Amino acid sequence: MIVAERKPFDEIKDKIRDYKKVMILGCGTCVSVCMAGGEKEVELLASELRMANRLEGRDVEIGEATIQRQCDKEYIETIVEKAKGYNAVLSMACGAGVQFVAKMREPMIVVPALNTKFIGVTEEEGIWAEWCIGCGDCVLADFGGICPIALCAKSLVNGPCGGSKEDKCESGPGSDCAWVLIYNRLKQQNKLDTIRKFVPPRDYRTQAHPARQVTEAYLETETEETPS
């Protein structure tokens, strides 16, 4: 799940100050789960903006809409006609969603209302944690299903540093040492020999940007459409 959080209200208000008709567009998937950009969050931000504009004596029309995903063309297409009636879209999606809506509605102004944080999980109600950095070369099989690249503050893949104390990382009192977690997991699995193997330096070519992936079934079509 992509985890995001809402930008400071004053920043949002400043970025859309020049527009008289703004549509707030929510995203019903990842950012809805982390309570940053779903339908409820759209309603709340719309109310805050209407109130602020009223107090400042500004006449601004604020519209609301939420689609299932802003990273999927078929869902964006459902609001294209509605968006034509506005000067700008205030997107409550992750950075990918903001950019895709901007591409679909070019040259309309699309402004982000969120800061995209990380790929994570719901640890507890209201608590989300980063568990993956999307490195493109997954090593979870070698570390008992625990990622040292994402969960270790230094992304160490050949054992811990000297900063671990009482099973905690020196980066913060609430952070578990990833290598303590890995050791305990592998011990439970009777696979401690795994961590005696040297892990070669990461191949950063697997995380080249901008990344792109085409499903094998569509490779032939993709090749035919690519200009020579």
Kindly report the three-state secondary structure assignment for every residue of 94-159: CHHHHHHHHHHCCCCEEEECEEEEEEEEEEECCEEEEEECCCCCCCHHHCCCCCHHHHCCCCCCCC
Domain ranges of the chain: 2-118, 133-202
User: pLDDT tens-digit profile of 38-72?
Assistant: 999 999 999 999 999 999 999 999 999 999 999 99
3-state secondary structure at position 45: helix
Sort strands 109-112 and 88-92 into parallel, antiparallel or unpaired. parallel
Top pLDDT among 20 and 216 is at: 20
CB 76 within 8 A of CB 9: no
pLDDT value of position 174: 80
pLDDT tops 70 at residue 84: yes
As given in the structure block, the two tokens for residue 46 are 């719309």
Confidence check: pLDDT of 207 > 80? no
How much is the pLDDT for 120? 94
- Give the whole-angstrom CA distance, residue 14 versus residue 20: 13
Q: Please, what is the Cα angle at 108 between 67 and 19, to 5 degrees? A: 95
* Of 82 and 225, more confident: 82
Q: Do the beta carbons of residue 45 and residue 26 sit within 8 Å?
A: no
pLDDT at 227 over 60: no
**CATH 3.40.50.2300, domain 2-118, yes or no:** yes
pLDDT in tens, 171-199: 887 889 999 999 999 999 999 998 889 98
- Give the model's pLDDT for residue 203: 78
